[in-house]
Amino acid sequence: PYAGGMGNSIRYVGMSPRNDALKVDGVENLFCAGEKAGLLVGHTEAIVTGTLAGCNAVRHIRGERPLILPDTLATGDAIGYVGTQMTTEEGLGFKYTFSGSVYFDRMKAKGLYGIDAIEICSRVERTGLTGVFA
């Protein structure tokens, strides 16, 4: 912390209402990621949402349908779940991350957490998104 922990970070004050393609509601060509996409905390969450938002921005320019990650993958489930939760008062009281907190518990309960690379690759392959996650 550059400011010694005092005023070095202002977070969670500007989330954008968005869909699961990370397109901001009410704006034709704006996509969001990271903490702007909800109470998603962490580098991995920023990478996942930033990659999807960027991909969908390009798809939008090309006139293609946006990519929405399925909830059978942790990435798609997190984006969808957090999107729903950020519309509720209770949901706004939590932070969501792949490495802890309430989303990690959900991920384990749904069988989406794992460290077996072969199983993860199989799960992605079953969705038809292998090239997306290459």
- pLDDT tens digits for range 123-133: 999 999 998 86
Q: What is the mean pLDDT of residues 23-39?
A: 94
Name the band, by pLDDT with cuts 50, 70 and 90, for residue 70.
very high
Residue 43 lies in a domain: yes
Report the C-alpha gap between 54 and 29 in whole angstroms: 11
Residue 95's domain comprises 34-127
Task: Tell whether the model's pLDDT for residue 12 goes beyond 60.
Answer: yes
Residue 94 lies in a domain: yes
Task: Tell whether the model's pLDDT for residue 5 goes beyond 70.
Answer: no
Q: What is the pLDDT of residue 41?
A: 87
- The alpha carbon dihedral of 83, 9, 49, 105 has a sign of negative
Residue 19 lies in a domain: no
Answer for the pair 16, 28: CB distance below 8 angstroms, yes or no.
Answer: no
Q: What is the pLDDT of residue 4?
A: 61
Residue 12 lies in a domain: no
Please state, for a pLDDT cut of 90, what percent of the chain lies above it. 76
Convert 58-86 to b/e letters by CB count within 10 Å (16 or more is b). Answer: eebeeeeebebbbbebbbbbbbbbbbebb
Q: How many domains does the chain have?
A: 1
In 3-130, beta strands by DSSP E: 96-97, 100
Task: Tell whether the model's pLDDT for residue 102 goes beyond 70.
Answer: yes
Q: What is the pLDDT of residue 27?
A: 95
Residue 29 lies in a domain: no
Q: What is the pLDDT of residue 100?
A: 85
112 phi/psi in degrees, rounded to 5: -95, -10
Mean of pLDDT over the chain: 91
Q: What is the pLDDT of residue 6?
A: 64
| Selection from 121, 46, 129, 118 nearest residue 82 by Cα | 46
Residue 16 lies in a domain: no
Q: What is the pLDDT of residue 132?
A: 87
Q: Quote the tokens at residue 65.
A: 């349908």
Answer for the pair 18, 33: CB distance below 8 angstroms, yes or no.
Answer: no
